[in-house]
Structure 1
Amino acid sequence: MAKNQEVARQSLSDQAARQLANATKTVPQLSTITPRWLTHLLQWTPVEAGIYRVNQVSNTDDIQVACTQRDEATLPQTFVDYELNPREYFLNGVSTVLDIHTRVSDLYSSPHDQIKEQLRLTIETIKERQESELINNPEYGLLASVADSQRLSTLTGAPTPDDFDDLLRKVWKEPGFFLAHPDAIAAFGRECTRRGVPPPTVSLFGSQFITWRGVPLIPSNKIPVEDGKTKIILLRVGEKRQGVVGLFQPGLAGEQAPGLSVRFMGINRNAIASYLISLYCSLAVLTEDALAVLEDVEVDKYHDYPSTYK
Structure 2
Amino acid sequence: MTQPANHSLSAAAARNLATATVTVPQWDHITPRWLHKLLPFVNVDGGVYRVNRVAQKEGKFQPELLTVDLGEPKLPTTFIDYEVDPREYHLSAIQTVLHTHTRITDLYSNQIDQLREQVRLTVEAVREKEESEIINNPQFGLLKEVSPSQTIETRKGAPTPDDLDELLTRVWKKPAFFLAHPLAIAAFGREATRRGVPPVVVHLFGSPFITWRGVPLIPSNKLEVKDNKTSILLLRVGEAEQGVVGLQKVGVTGEVEPGLSVRYSGTSDNSIASHLVTRYFSVAVLTEDAIARLDNVAVNNYHEYVYPTA
Contact (CA 8 Å) 2:181, 2:224: kept in 1 or not? Answer: yes
Contact (CA 8 Å) 1:228, 1:301: kept in 2 or not? Answer: no
Q: Offset of 1:24 from its aligned partner? A: 5.4
Q: SS of the residue aligned with 1:61?
A: coil
Q: Deviations over 1:154-176 (max 9, x none)?
A: 00100000000000011111001
TM-score normalized by the length of structure 2: 0.88
Which of the residues 35, 38, 43 maps onto 2:40? Answer: 43
For 2:20 and 2:102, how far apart are their aligned partners in 1?
A: 25
For 1:174 and 1:67, how far apart are their aligned partners in 2?
A: 28
What RMSD, in angstroms, separates the aligned Cα atoms of the two structures? 1.3
Contact (CA 8 Å) 1:68, 1:75: kept in 2 or not? Answer: no
For 2:21 and 2:95, how far apart are their aligned partners in 1?
A: 33
- Residue segments in structure 1 that go unaligned for 5+ positions in a row: 1-21, 303-310
Larger radius of gyration: 1
- 1:92 corresponds in structure 2 to 92
- 1:123 corresponds in structure 2 to 123
Q: Offset of 1:48 from its aligned partner? A: 2.0
For 1:243 and 1:101, how far apart are their aligned partners in 2?
A: 46
For 1:105 and 1:255, how far apart are their aligned partners in 2?
A: 21
Bigger drift between 80-89 and 61-70 goes to 61-70
For 2:38 and 2:184, how far apart are their aligned partners in 1?
A: 19
TM-score normalized by the length of structure 1: 0.88
* Counterpart code for 2:47: G
For 1:57 and 1:203, how far apart are their aligned partners in 2?
A: 38
Contact (CA 8 Å) 1:98, 1:276: kept in 2 or not? Answer: yes
* Counterpart code for 1:30: W
Q: SS of the residue aligned with 2:166?
A: helix
Q: SS of the residue aligned with 2:280?
A: strand
Q: Offset of 1:301 from its aligned partner? A: 6.2
Percent of matched pairs sharing the same residue? 59
Q: Offset of 1:69 from its aligned partner? A: 2.9
For 2:31 and 2:152, how far apart are their aligned partners in 1?
A: 28
Q: Offset of 1:133 from its aligned partner? A: 0.3
Q: Offset of 1:294 from its aligned partner? A: 0.4
Q: SS of the residue aligned with 2:187?
A: helix
For 1:48 and 1:190, how far apart are their aligned partners in 2?
A: 46
Q: Offset of 1:258 from its aligned partner? A: 1.6
Alignment size in residue pairs:
281
- Residue segments in structure 2 that go unaligned for 5+ positions in a row: 1-18, 303-310
For 1:93 and 1:30, how far apart are their aligned partners in 2?
A: 24
* Counterpart code for 2:137: N
Contact (CA 8 Å) 2:51, 2:88: kept in 1 or not? Answer: yes
- 1:285 corresponds in structure 2 to 285
Deviating beyond 6 angstroms after TM superposition, the runs of 4 or more aligned structure 1 residues are none
For 2:221 and 2:173, how far apart are their aligned partners in 1?
A: 27
Q: Offset of 1:136 from its aligned partner? A: 0.2
Q: SS of the residue aligned with 1:116?
A: helix
- 2:5 corresponds in structure 1 to none
Residue correspondence of structure 1 range 57-76 to structure 2 within 5 A: 57-59=54-56, 60-72=60-72, 74-76=74-76
- 2:180 corresponds in structure 1 to 180
For 2:72 and 2:44, how far apart are their aligned partners in 1?
A: 47
Q: SS of the residue aligned with 1:98?
A: strand
